[in-house]
Structure 1
Amino acid sequence: MSRTAHIRGSRLATAGIAATTAALLATALSPAAHAEGRPTRATAIQHAATALVDHAAALGLTSAEQAAVRDVIVDKDGTQHVRYDRTYHRLPVLGGDFVVHLTPAGAYRGANRASRGTVSLPSTTPQVSAPKAAGLAVNALRAANLGDRLQQVKAKPQLIVDALHGALRLAWRTNAVGLDSLGNPVARTVLTDARTGAQIDAWDSIETATGDGKSLYSGTVGLETTQSGSTYQLKDPTRGNTYTGDAANKTDLCFLGICFQRAPATLFTDADNHWGTGTTADRSSAAVDAQYGTNETWDYYRYVHGRNGIAGDGKGSYNRVHYGSNYNNAFWDDSCFCMTYGDGDGTTFGPLVALDVAGHEMTHGVTSKTAALTYSGESGGLNEATSDILGTLVEWYANNSSDPGDYLIGEKIVRSGFGKTALRYMDQPSKDGSSADYWSSSVGNLDVHYSSGVANHFAYLLAEGSGPKTINGVSYNSPTYNGSTVTGIGRDKLGQIWYRALTVYMTSSTNYAGARTATLNAAKDLYGAGSTEYNAVAAAWSAVNVN
């Protein structure tokens, strides 16, 4: 059943609200929604629907548009935040998302919008054909993988309205996919002006953290499994039936939710409920790490942030290990709601089944279900940084003596062929040779894994402060842009502030200036304006030149 509220002139169609309410009552209510007399999720959506009618002009909504609920947050005091996606004449609006904020009584308090202005186009008929847009996207995919002979390349365009890149325009959003020479997947989303054929933007479609995490070194960990007859399945009934399967070194070929080829996820089973040997000689060892990472990530979001699963609906994701041929990557895929791990090539990286890999990649799923930060420019850097920040906090939360918490990204899985001791360094991102320590007007032109350095540096400073120090046996020395001394407020408060900013205030177009505002708003909500925490957020952003 659709969760779509239809705008019809100045009134909201009651059928749309009825469908929304019924769907949410059936599927979206959590036990916590009724605690302490707070409004339920369904009630919050009803309040927000009224606000859409009463404040349509302020939100830029017209009779040509529809607004669909993406996410709902109800604070402990009953304050409500309802996040919407927008369509225009049934076309998705990139940068059209917004969050409506309501008082505990349901009164409209304000909104955050990804873009300003009213969506209006003279025509929704493209002058560039869909096949032409597909061809341009294929060329862009080949150009991005120059030197590799791609196979089975396909592309499927979708007509959208682009409100994210300056002047409003009709555009084709095309996902081009293929396989590289080793049979591993490559994918790129290309945004093309539907009137001129000019490329507006392009970004990698597989959200990755190449090599983040560690090898098979999580030690002996407890696992919840499912007994089936005389065997046990690596499926956790206590965490939404999350499970781990063997991809058999095969790969996917999917785009826009349509799969022409899907790697398997053959469920791991065991006779005595004792899994793996801690070595790569046993294929189930990698599965143990993947399942453990899923468990710790689930628990972190559940017990620290009150989020019931990646999508907040109690549904468990699943894992595929041993994916591809010497695949130096791991990725989250919304289309399967699953995590996928490569084995690495043994020279640059070892197997990518690791605790902070799971935390990083599954946080991409959380971001997708909340702010949906666009995976290019400054918003793309914030997307990657969100996964680094919260993924690192998962590692600290797990408190595993075999992998103590740290602010190094991927330090356990790098091999001698990589040439560095970690993938990324949160205390001083430039130590990786590519990442930015501080904001500048050119940051948005960097690869998103490197533009993320500004937010990673902010997060470290906010948690631990500036200057030299040793934490858990690791030496750090975090400088500041303005020569200031920053005093940290601790990891727990960093996590609370960043998560609230992500889920309540950020939108698809949030840039670094917007992230400063979002985190200050979050700190004000949690600790009060002018509090030590609020002032620390401001100081940490200034220390990375975001003012």
Structure 2
Amino acid sequence: MPRRHIPTLRRRRAAALALTTACTLLTLGAPTGATAAPADPGPSRITAVPRAGAAATPLSPARRASLIKAAQTAAGATARRLALGAQEKLLVKDVVQDADGTTHTRYERTYAGLPVLGGDMVVHSADGRTTVSRATAATVRVASLTPKLPASSAAGQALAAAKSADVAGASTGRAPRLVVWAAAGRPVLAWETVVDGVQDDGTPSELQVVTDATTGKRILAAEKVHTGTGTGQYVGTVPVGSTLAGSTYQLTDPDRAGHKTYDLNQGTSGTGTLFTDDNDVWGTGLPANRQTAGVDVAFGAAATWDYYKEEFGRNGIRNDGVAAYSRAHYGNNYVNAFWQDSCFCMTYGDGSGNTHPLTALDVAAHEMSHGVTAATANLTYSGESGGLNEATSDIFAAAVEFHENLAADPGDYLVGEKIDINGNGTPLRYMDKPSKDGSSRDSWSSGLGGIDVHYSSGPANHFFYLLSEGSGAKTVNGVSYDSPTSDGRPVTGIGIENAAAIWYRALTTYMTSSTDYAGARTATLQAASDLFGAYSPTYLAVADAWAAINVGNRIALGVNVAPIADQTSGVGQAVSLQVDAYTTNSGAGLTYEATGLPDGLSISPSGLISGTPTSLGNSDVSVKVTDATGASVTDTFAWRIAYIYANSSRVDIPDNGAAVESPVTITGRDGNASATTSVYVNIVHTYRGDLTVDLVGPNGTVYSLLNRSGGSADNVDQTFTVDASAQPLDGTWKLRVQDRASIDVGYIQRWQLTP
């Protein structure tokens, strides 16, 4: 049906479709009019084109649904392949396919029918190989499914938490649900309660409170309504998608799954009334005209939809082709905007005096990106993961601004620069140097997870700015920046499009609900490897940008060899040691040399040291690795060849039960053991703090190796040194292990004795 639009002032890519139909004229891809100046790339920029095979394949809703159904059908087999427990089941949340056929299936998990919060994972399948990104490595198991704390008490504690958070009108209309909490530490049975109410600034509240169902301890209190701020300055003269219904035009966008924009008329609930117009010419650019905010809102929703679709092939916020809806004119003097996943909707206030609506493009992109996060990694909105959640929205708000390149609102790395909430003309947040707002952090530190998520987002925002533009002074779209680094070393940018592509792939493919800053570094490096190649200049820039905010180290140029620890091997026992090396010089193969190897050992062209030692003794070994450019590095370590006695037979450790033993017997050796007898222990067991581990000598003397230390960490993979000089060498030595607490179980996998 016929529709009219206001001509666009923004520039799109040359790939925009030809203007052949009325519908095409109404798309946001119509390139007309003047444009904003392109971003100044700065003094230097790493330029690269992402690898085509790593691009996500656009999926129709039907194809996506088919892949999800197939994955769910195979979920039982997948759970068995991943060695999950008999009471654990996988629920498919989403499936993403790369152009090269790699499939990434995101799962949520249940235990005995209960949702496992923090049990999510992504299974990556390619060429018959399977790898997994997990929110938790802990075994999901609880002692009892019967809560000691009643639901009513959990609800009461949740209401108390809401009161402490200044939530007005708090109520628990939804009954607490029993869950397993596995997001941190040892999994426990818990109650999840969602408290509805209103935050102190007028924003609706959905406070998620998780309470230990055994002890009554509060585990988490996190807000599920994600708030932010933007500019009240309008996007200028732009196209809007509308639909003619009879003789009236409605602000319903048929090109983006029927996204609707409503006028709440200063209400705080429901949808209000759909914006309508008699001539399809919307707004005047003045806040007194109610349609003006509607234009900004509808444009922001369309631009965000287009950005994700054009850049990443994403079909809507949830990638299912379904549109959210938007509500303008919320409340009175409400200076905020928010995304609410429960209604799958975006809401905007009118600001101070109801004359400064928070309807700018970056506000829409920020809040709707919370929806993308919820549909993918679902980063928990507290601690470091909460800061990454907020940063993700800031990152894609900036990316959408640059993508649109509006003359009225060119791309920048500022958050809320037009609102002037503080009354001094300053932005709310600065991505180039977050600390300029007075509260945000520039770099990571150990206490980062304990501050408000809007401020713990600072280091990730800083990382993204550095990765996009680089460090130091520069001007981009008329805004001056001067970004520092925590290590005092420069960073070269790769451009915002490539930086955003890396963050998007990391978010949707590798991050999970519990990802912290260290995990984000790992995820983005893997994404950069997928898109641009491991140790490519772009990959190295990602590592540099993280190091510049005090997360991880920079990667040295040239040849790198992972440090090789001093080795101890048994005479007559086979050896296999792979030298882990790589070069940052693209396409330059590696050669390996080794001197000082013990008799019987040699190094292969691929860097594998193998063989069988033939004589006792100590050696100083040097391994030299050289690439085809001539760059090389040498690592030196000691290698001791001794008598080693080992037992690799599995011994199961009963839960909170009797001690078990694994023996090794030495014969034909005179004298006593050494004062520096070495005992290597490899035990697979969740929550190692349950365990006592002892060495028992041939004469019955007991040497304590581990006495319930290590807390909630999993497994024992450790070498201990004891003075066993009073023990005769000959005889039976035993490793004695006992589990002294309930729930977690495991087994002795291997241990060895070097007396």
User: How far does residue 62 in structure 1 lie from its aligned partner after superposition?
Assistant: 2.0
Q: Equivalent residue of 2:281, what SS?
A: coil
Aligned to 1:10: none
Contact 1:44 1:80 in 2 (8 A): no
How many angstroms apart in 1 are the aligned matches of 2:235 and 2:136? 44
The Cα offsets for residues 127-172 of structure 1, whole Å up to 9 and x where unpaired, read as 1111111111111111111xx8x23533542211110121111111
Q: Which of 154, 157, 179 is the matching residue for 2:172?
A: 154
Give the aligned length.
494
Contact 1:323 1:341 in 2 (8 A): yes
Aligned to 2:448: 443
Look up the equivalent residue of 1:56 and give its one-letter code.
Answer: R
Contact 2:68 2:94 in 1 (8 A): no
Aligned to 1:478: 483
Does 1:196 find its partner at 2:215? yes
How many angstroms apart in 2 are the aligned matches of 1:538 and 1:482? 13
Aligned to 1:143: 164
How many angstroms apart in 2 are the aligned matches of 1:528 and 1:123? 47
User: How far does residue 49 in structure 1 lie from its aligned partner after superposition?
Assistant: 5.8
Does 1:282 find its partner at 2:289? yes
User: How far does residue 223 in structure 1 lie from its aligned partner after superposition?
Assistant: 1.0
Contact 2:413 2:430 in 1 (8 A): yes
Aligned to 1:376: 382
Q: Equivalent residue of 1:496, what SS?
A: helix
How many angstroms apart in 2 are the aligned matches of 1:99 and 1:345? 44
**Residues 242 and 431 (structure 1), Cα distance of their counterparts in 2 relative to 1, 3 Å cut:** same
TM-score (norm 2): 0.63
Aligned to 2:123: 100
Look up the equivalent residue of 1:395 and give its one-letter code.
Answer: E
Aligned to 2:112: 89
User: How far does residue 67 in structure 1 lie from its aligned partner after superposition?
Assistant: 1.1
How many angstroms apart in 2 are the aligned matches of 1:45 and 1:418? 53
Does 1:66 find its partner at 2:71? no
The Cα offsets for residues 225-268 of structure 1, whole Å up to 9 and x where unpaired, read as 100111100000010101100112222xxxxxxxxxx4223110
Aligned to 1:6: none
How many angstroms apart in 2 are the aligned matches of 1:60 and 1:484? 45
Look up the equivalent residue of 1:479 and give its one-letter code.
Answer: P
How many angstroms apart in 2 are the aligned matches of 1:60 and 1:195? 27
The Cα offsets for residues 394-436 of structure 1, whole Å up to 9 and x where unpaired, read as 0111110000100000101224x44461010000000000001
Contact 1:214 1:352 in 2 (8 A): yes
Contact 1:154 1:178 in 2 (8 A): no
Look up the equivalent residue of 1:393 and give its one-letter code.
Answer: A
Contact 2:440 2:454 in 1 (8 A): yes
User: How far does residue 56 in structure 1 lie from its aligned partner after superposition?
Assistant: 2.7
Contact 2:64 2:95 in 1 (8 A): no
Specify every segment of 5 or more residues in structure 1 that has no aligned partner in the other structure, as ranges. Answer: 1-29, 252-261
Contact 2:259 2:324 in 1 (8 A): yes
Q: Equivalent residue of 1:340, what SS?
A: strand
How many angstroms apart in 1 are the aligned matches of 2:377 and 2:57? 24
User: How far does residue 325 in structure 1 lie from its aligned partner after superposition?
Assistant: 2.2
The Cα offsets for residues 443-498 of structure 1, whole Å up to 9 and x where unpaired, read as 00011100000100000000000011111111101000000100000011001100
Q: Which of 447, 451, 460 is the matching residue for 1:455?
A: 460
- Of all paired residues, the percent bearing the same amino acid is 54
Aligned to 1:515: 520
Q: Which of 148, 152, 157 is the matching residue for 1:131?
A: 152
Contact 1:141 1:187 in 2 (8 A): no
How many angstroms apart in 2 are the aligned matches of 1:279 and 1:319? 20
**Residues 196 and 54 (structure 1), Cα distance of their counterparts in 2 relative to 1, 3 Å cut:** closer
Aligned to 1:321: 328
Which has a greater percent of strand?
2
Q: Equivalent residue of 1:238, what SS?
A: helix
How many angstroms apart in 1 are the aligned matches of 2:303 and 2:125? 33
How many angstroms apart in 2 are the aligned matches of 1:485 and 1:182? 41
Summarize the alignment of residues 230-309 of structure 1 with structure 2, pairs less than 5 Å apart.
230-251=247-268, 262-309=269-316
Aligned to 2:634: none
How many angstroms apart in 2 are the aligned matches of 1:54 and 1:46? 12
How many angstroms apart in 1 are the aligned matches of 2:157 and 2:67? 46
Q: Which of 39, 54, 66 is the matching residue for 1:42?
A: 66
User: How far does residue 296 in structure 1 lie from its aligned partner after superposition?
Assistant: 0.5
Which has a greater percent of helix?
1
User: How far does residue 324 in structure 1 lie from its aligned partner after superposition?
Assistant: 1.7
How many angstroms apart in 2 are the aligned matches of 1:353 and 1:496? 26
Contact 1:520 1:534 in 2 (8 A): yes
TM-score (norm 1): 0.86
Contact 1:216 1:286 in 2 (8 A): no
Aligned to 2:77: 53
How many angstroms apart in 2 are the aligned matches of 1:518 and 1:285? 41
The Cα offsets for residues 516-541 of structure 1, whole Å up to 9 and x where unpaired, read as 00000000000000101100000000
How many angstroms apart in 2 are the aligned matches of 1:334 and 1:391? 18
How many angstroms apart in 2 are the aligned matches of 1:247 and 1:263? 8
Contact 1:420 1:432 in 2 (8 A): no
Q: Which of 166, 171, 174 is the matching residue for 2:185?
A: 166
Aligned to 2:660: none
How many angstroms apart in 1 are the aligned matches of 2:528 and 2:75? 25
How many angstroms apart in 2 are the aligned matches of 1:458 and 1:180? 31
Contact 1:217 1:278 in 2 (8 A): yes
How many angstroms apart in 1 are the aligned matches of 2:352 and 2:435? 26
Aligned to 2:559: none
User: How far does residue 181 in structure 1 lie from its aligned partner after superposition?
Assistant: 7.4
**Residues 362 and 43 (structure 1), Cα distance of their counterparts in 2 relative to 1, 3 Å cut:** closer
**Residues 184 and 81 (structure 1), Cα distance of their counterparts in 2 relative to 1, 3 Å cut:** closer
Contact 1:439 1:454 in 2 (8 A): yes
**Residues 176 and 282 (structure 1), Cα distance of their counterparts in 2 relative to 1, 3 Å cut:** same
Aligned to 2:733: none
User: How far does residue 499 in structure 1 lie from its aligned partner after superposition?
Assistant: 0.3
User: How far does residue 44 in structure 1 lie from its aligned partner after superposition?
Assistant: 7.3
Aligned to 2:341: 334
Aligned to 1:489: 494
Contact 1:286 1:353 in 2 (8 A): yes
RMSD over aligned CA atoms reads 2.1
Contact 2:384 2:517 in 1 (8 A): yes
How many angstroms apart in 1 are the aligned matches of 2:116 and 2:520? 22
Give the number of the structure whose alpha-carbon radius of gyration is greater: 2
Look up the equivalent residue of 1:430 and give its one-letter code.
Answer: S
How many angstroms apart in 2 are the aligned matches of 1:465 and 1:395? 19
Aligned to 1:24: none
Contact 2:122 2:509 in 1 (8 A): yes
Look up the equivalent residue of 1:226 and give its one-letter code.
Answer: T
Contact 2:64 2:320 in 1 (8 A): no
User: How far does residue 320 in structure 1 lie from its aligned partner after superposition?
Assistant: 0.5
Aligned to 2:137: 116
Look up the equivalent residue of 1:63 and give its one-letter code.
Answer: A
How many angstroms apart in 2 are the aligned matches of 1:493 and 1:502? 14
How many angstroms apart in 1 are the aligned matches of 2:170 and 2:187? 34
